[in-house]
Structure 1
Amino acid sequence: MLRYTLKRLLSLCISLGVASLLIFFVIEIAPGDPASFMLGLNAQPDTIAALRTELGLDVPKWQRYVAWVSGMLTGDFGTSYTYRTPVAQMISDRMWVSLPLALYALALSTLIAFPAGMYAAARRGRTGDVAVMGATQLGVAVPNFWFAMMLVLIFAINLRWFSAGGFAGWDKGFGAVMWSLTLPAISLALPQAAILARVMRSALLDVMNEDFMRTARAKGLTSAQTLWRHGLRNALIPVLTIIGLQFSFLLAGGIIIEQVFYLPGLGRLVFQSISARDLIVVESVVMLLVFCVIVVNFAVDLAYAIVDPRLRTRS
């Protein structure tokens, strides 16, 4: 297990290094100068040059890259060009919106998908299976922002159970925060639950055809008992893959939902920073999101080894 973990850690470090290079240089070669953008069209060249010097944009790119990476390793993400605020503070403030939203949506999608997938697998070819697969097909086809607008129309405008947007703030308490994130979390969770339910059903159907499942049923276990005791764990590897990818998507891909519900999260921060050409904020937030994606994949790899010990012996 130790060797397996060390190999995955090495892969994680290499992935982070390559990602930091790509993120920095792709964003840096994007057209447009932040200093010129901030000062406007009529700014004098000497004024632009002075601002570039103040922002540290006049040094070679490789030096800026080294300074950026070194700063991130010590927790210093630099200072926003636009807001003149430490980027780490901006990220920290908004992470307390995006992270709970992603975890909430992931919990909802898992709670919906696991029973739905198991129910459909246990009733393969019957009415229940057809109904669940039809619902999941609809969930995959419909974009999450459409679900968001429908939820606002029904539960915020018509029924007035929830607010149409905004974030309650942690000073109002945990319950108020979760209440304000409920509609965004549901709109994010429904398409992901549809995908996860289909994967769960397919994985269980593959496992149910194995010899050990037939042996368990021959020993007197019912289909439901066989499914719970033997089938579920063996079907978890592809499901864990999807859950890891979904968390990464929910954390990094909630830009549209945060715009619809006017949530002050990381997605909205990236959108605003791109519009303002605030490169240091864009680079730092994107790198943080990539870091989260890679760490989640690392955790999924370790979960593989726990669920399937054969992976540890192969490494």
Structure 2
Amino acid sequence: MTRWVVAVVAACVAAMPAVAQKRIALTFDDAPRVRGPFLTPDERTRRLIAGLRKAKVRQAAFFVVPGSLAGPDGAGGERRIAAYVAAGHVIANHSFSHPGLKSMTAQAYLADIDRAGAWLTGRRGVRPWFRFPFLDEGGSDKGKRDAVRAGLAARGLSNGYVTVDGSDWNIEAMTIEARRAGKPIDLDALRDLYVETHVQSAEFADGLARRALGRQPVQVMLLHETDLAAYWIADLVAGLRRKGWEIVGADGAYRDPIAKLHPDVPSAQGTLLEAIAWEKGLPAPRWYDRNTPSIATPLYRRRVLHEGQ
């Protein structure tokens, strides 16, 4: 091949657009949780570990609420958390009692974080991340927001932020309600809705990031340690991969440059991408529409419970 041909080929390659990178990490809040609509906590943990292994997800992150261990199943909860770590996953701080920051002082909130930190200290798989319960960073109280941000930094903790949210807690809550009411639940439809909702939420976040940042950061998906995840995490991962997503570990996700951003917005609550888009002046909606119960609830009732048909 002549030098001229080599130069032409190199120029063409350089002119080609960069290959899109859709990368996402999976994270689970509120471990260890109590019994769900279908499974015992032990069954849920076994199924969730097996599902992640089947999907070849090497590292997910579990944000732990140690106050949940105070009940009669405390020893079992501690054993289940250890099982996640033994399977290659990591754990981090989600507060001791899962409070909302808007409902308490910054000092009391940081003390609750410290209680959780005391339980986590010295355990295998611990990472220096804190995730705000309810993604509540103080709302419109900027003084409280900044006090907690400073408190986290002083403790060597970084924000275990979220960029992708499909409100799986709401899907689970509606399933629990339906079970208690004795309503028939179409499990195939529930699986499809669960997977579809979270894949769409990732796609929405990818588009929002491109508009707000001009690039594709590593996304962080918020899930909860639910029976639905235990049943269908492998299906969810398969759905993401069909849309071109690469599943990465939380360690890699939290090294993305957006981890250093602290947007200043009128109300600090929600995903990091929502706040970034708001700070940059992007118009609403800056959140996936199924995070709105008035949209998600009728959809669930129609598709999963077959009501109103």
Q: Same fold judged by TM-score > 0.5?
A: no
Q: What TM-score comes out, normalization by structure 1 length?
A: 0.25
Q: What TM-score comes out, normalization by structure 2 length?
A: 0.25
Q: Greater CA radius of gyration, 1 or 2?
A: 1
Larger helix share, 1 or 2: 1
Larger strand share, 1 or 2: 2
